[in-house]
Amino acid sequence: MLDSQFMRHVFWTWLAMVPMSIGCGVLPNGSSMDHAQAQRLSDAYMANLIADRVDLAVDKMELTNPQDAQGRAKTEELIRGLFSYCGRPLESELRHEETGFFLYADGRKAPMRAFFYSGKTTQFSKGVCFFAVRVVPGQGGMRVVNFGPLKLISGQLPEWAR
């Protein structure tokens, strides 16, 4: 079961990003990042999830304290918990990219590239669930700062997802 504090953090982070996206042009933007390097990291992250190697995916993430074994285990547990929403990805196809910024809970902003993947999961056929991987530059190179499943509940798929 997902930790309710984690889900609140995800919700508030997402909610904060929506209105702030209006000012993307004046804030650090992901278009300044090396596209190929960011996509390689994102693709490798998804490949680890597909191979059911969440531990290796966590290695690619920006963690508060990467040496904290409990924090790493908790992060892995939270990612596995997200699979209850859409299932674990079994394949992925990059369908869309966006550039912008990532707003940290402490108010810091960082350039960000977001990659959106479609694919079959352990629960759904292709076209129902999507996975967003957000990459930021960090100390020692680019890191995945955020990951999350997205599910089409109703309505039409956006053009990029078809």
Ranges of each domain in the chain: 4-21+28-161
CA 114 – CA 66 distance, rounded (Å):
22
Predicted model pTM: 0.78
Cβ atoms of residues 130 and 118 within 8 Å: yes
Q: What does DSSP assign to residue 139? A: T
Q: What is the pLDDT of residues 45-69, one digit of tens each?
A: 999 999 999 999 999 999 876 667 7
Cβ atoms of residues 132 and 148 within 8 Å: yes
What three-state secondary structure class fits 88? coil
CA 89 – CA 117 distance, rounded (Å):
10
Q: What does DSSP assign to residue 138? A: E
Cβ atoms of residues 141 and 55 within 8 Å: no
CA 92 – CA 43 distance, rounded (Å):
9
Q: What is the pLDDT of residues 116-159, one digit of tens each?
A: 999 899 999 888 889 999 999 987 899 999 999 988 777 777 77
What CATH fold (topology level) applies to the domain 4-21+28-161? Nuclear Transport Factor 2; Chain: A, (3.10.450)
